[in-house]
Amino acid sequence: MVKKARSSQRREESLSRDRIIEASIALLDSSGESGLTFRALSERLATGPGAIYWHIANKSELLTAACDAIVACTMNAPVADATPKATIRALALAMFDTIDAHPWVGSALTRAPGQLPLVRVLERIGQQLRALGVPDEEQWATVSALLSYILGVGGQNAANTHFAREQGLDRSNFLDEVSTVWSQLDPNEYPFTRSVAGQLRAHDDRMDFLAGIDLILRGIDSPRGR
């Protein structure tokens, strides 16, 4: 019995937390949150569920840990010789691309309020806001606006991409069809929508995202803000 217990403990110790997280990320990327089960993870790691539970208590903790690994890599990427504004733009775009590449990250972040993955983003952007000279009493509202925009737009973009893949839609054809429908709307009821129909057909999601970041940054520089 003692020999069996020691053998089991050695197997649990040889299966590191990092290996579990790495395998979880692979499952999440290939199958989404529904595909991340301890059974599927056990099969991928060629081990029993007990060995995984030795390191991770439940699926929620596992999802947060996987999200944190991705976010840490994104936030720790160097931004060379950049001004605070340029750094904020680079960090925001990096998160946009990360959520696009790993759609589950967006929902994982919203389900882990106050936990380390979100804190990493908060800290990096908050430091740049301080460097910009944003007054202490305005820092929370400002960083909240940036975080809400980054996670909201990034998450919606990832959801749109996922929907298009599920439906087998080609982005260009889909946008062309929507643009055509918009251009045929009643001009009295939908004058603005008709006017931007052509822009919808050729717009770039990443550039639109950065344009929104720049609007927020210009607001920080406004006379009222300063």
Q: Are residues 104 and 47 in the same domain?
A: no
Residues 211, 204 contacting (CB under 8 angstroms): no
In a domain, 98, yes or no: yes
Report d(CA 51, CA 7) in Å as an integer: 12
Report d(CA 106, CA 116) in Å as an integer: 14
- Whichever domain contains 42, its CATH number is 1.10.10.60
Quickly tell me which residue has 């301080």 as its tokens: 130
In a domain, 163, yes or no: yes
DSSP state of 34: G
In a domain, 75, yes or no: yes
Per-residue pLDDT tens for 153-202?
A: 999 998 888 787 778 888 888 888 899 999 999 999 999 999 999 999 88
Q: Are residues 46 and 76 in the same domain?
A: no
Q: Are residues 73 and 19 in the same domain?
A: no
How many C-beta atoms lie closer than 10 Å to residue 164's C-beta?
A: 13
In a domain, 226, yes or no: no
Mean pLDDT computed over 209-221: 94
Q: Are residues 78 and 44 in the same domain?
A: no
Mean pLDDT of the chain: 89
Q: Are residues 119 and 207 in the same domain?
A: yes
Cα 43 versus chain centre, distance: 27
Percent of the chain surpassing pLDDT 70: 92
Mean pLDDT computed over 120-127: 96
How many domains does the chain contain in total? 2
Q: Are residues 12 and 108 in the same domain?
A: no
Q: Are residues 9 and 79 in the same domain?
A: no
Q: Are residues 94 and 204 in the same domain?
A: yes
Q: If we measure between CA atoms, which residue out of 175, 176, 197 comes closest to residue 185?
A: 197
Q: Which residues contact 68 (CB under 8 A, 6 or more apart)?
A: 115, 116, 117, 120
Q: If we measure between CA atoms, which residue out of 183, 25, 44 comes closest to residue 103?
A: 25
Q: Are residues 30 and 134 in the same domain?
A: no
Report d(CA 142, CA 224) in Å as an integer: 13
* Domain with 36 in it: 1-56
Residues 108, 64 contacting (CB under 8 angstroms): yes
Q: Are residues 77 and 183 in the same domain?
A: yes
Q: Are residues 126 and 185 in the same domain?
A: yes
